């Protein structure tokens, strides 16, 4: 994301992209510095001050088969546009979410640390949430532990401690997730990665989601259970304020 012509965590996003490409044996035809310049150039050409940024890398032209050897040179596409995932009222009043039957892909089938556009698993869960009248859904792993939502990481606060599911269970190590953890540590808020069940969520003092476009959004009800006092909590609101300040001062200017 860019804020007032400042791209937030661009290096971290590009590092993750190149790490994902390496894992799936996809050679990106640009250096990281060239990719960074391409992002800045696209933002300038589209005259966007506040924008969502998406980098897509394909294996390039080939035939209709699945053999990647048929694609001789990868292609990078840079998309910059405006995006609003949730109405402003949810940031002020909090979001109500549900758990859905669709389980998250197991890490052995599709490593969650590979940031890709293979979103069918998430889309199916999103459809279930929308058809039930909710904006977002919690996804569990095959053992029934909480992983993340369809497009965001999930955190809870309990007795002053911030907790999020460990990535090794099958959750994405989101860039915003990492930024929030850094803010919590700088504010001396206790933090840990722990295996969470729905029971833990229901009995949390606070809950919120994090994502590149979503930023930090409070959750006030899960599966019809009120979280805390039913309002965005003190820790959540403090982290939201700090995160928004950080995005306006920490980044690459263009």
Name the pTM for this structure. Answer: 0.94
* Dist CA 175 CA 241 (whole Å): 17
The answer to whether residues 195 and 240 belong to one domain is: yes
Q: Which of 9, 115, 194, 249 is catalytic?
A: 115
Domain boundary among 48, 83, 118: 83
The answer to whether residues 218 and 235 belong to one domain is: yes
Domain boundary among 54, 83, 112: 83
Tell which residue, 116, 9, 16, 7, has the closest CA to residue 57: 116
Q: Classify residue 41: in a domain, yes or no.
A: yes
Tell which residue, 152, 140, 239, has the closest CA to residue 195: 140
The answer to whether residues 242 and 192 belong to one domain is: yes
Domain boundary among 60, 83, 106: 83
Q: Tell me the CATH number at 109.
A: 3.20.10.10
Degrees to nearest 5, angle at CA 233 with 168 and 184? 50
Active site residue 44: no
Q: Indicate the number of domains in the chain.
A: 2
* Dist CA 17 CA 56 (whole Å): 9
Per-residue pLDDT 10s for the chain (254 aa) are 999 999 999 999 999 999 999 999 999 999 999 999 999 999 999 999 999 999 999 999 999 999 999 999 999 999 999 988 899 999 999 999 999 999 999 999 999 899 999 999 999 999 999 999 999 999 999 999 999 999 999 999 999 999 999 999 999 999 999 999 999 999 999 999 999 999 999 999 999 999 999 999 999 999 999 999 999 999 999 999 999 999 988 889 99
Range of the domain at 54: 6-83
């Amino acid at each position: 994301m860019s804020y007032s012509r400042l791209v937030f965590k661009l290096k971290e996003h590009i590092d993750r992209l190149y790490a994902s490409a390496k894992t799936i044996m996809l050679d990106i035809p640009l250096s990281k510095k060239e990719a960074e310049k391409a992002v800045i150039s696209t933002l300038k050409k589209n005259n966007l001050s506040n924008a969502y940024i998406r980098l897509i890398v394909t294996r390039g032209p080939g035939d209709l088969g699945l053999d990647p050897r048929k694609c001789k040179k990868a292609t990078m596409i840079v998309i910059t546009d405006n995006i609003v995932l949730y109405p402003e009222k949810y940031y002020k009043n909090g979001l109500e979410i549900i758990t859905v039957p669709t389980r998250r892909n197991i890490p052995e089938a599709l490593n969650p640390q590979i940031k890709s556009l293979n979103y069918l698993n998430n889309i199916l869960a999103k459809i279930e949430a929308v058809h039930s009248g909710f904006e977002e859904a919690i996804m569990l792993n095959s053992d029934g532990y909480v992983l993340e939502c369809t497009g965001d990481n999930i955190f809870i606060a309990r007795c002053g401690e911030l907790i999020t599911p460990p990535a090794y269970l099958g959750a994405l190590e989101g860039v915003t997730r990492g930024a929030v953890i850094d803010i919590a540590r700088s504010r001396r808020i206790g933090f840990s990665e722990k295996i969470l069940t729905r029971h833990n969520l229901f009995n949390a003092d606070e809950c919120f989601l994090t994502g590149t476009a979503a930023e930090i959004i409070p959750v006030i009800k899960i599966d019809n259970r009120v979280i805390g006092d039913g309002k965005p909590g003190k820790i959540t609101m403090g982290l939201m304020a700090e995160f928004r300040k950080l995005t306006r001062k920490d980044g690459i200017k263009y």
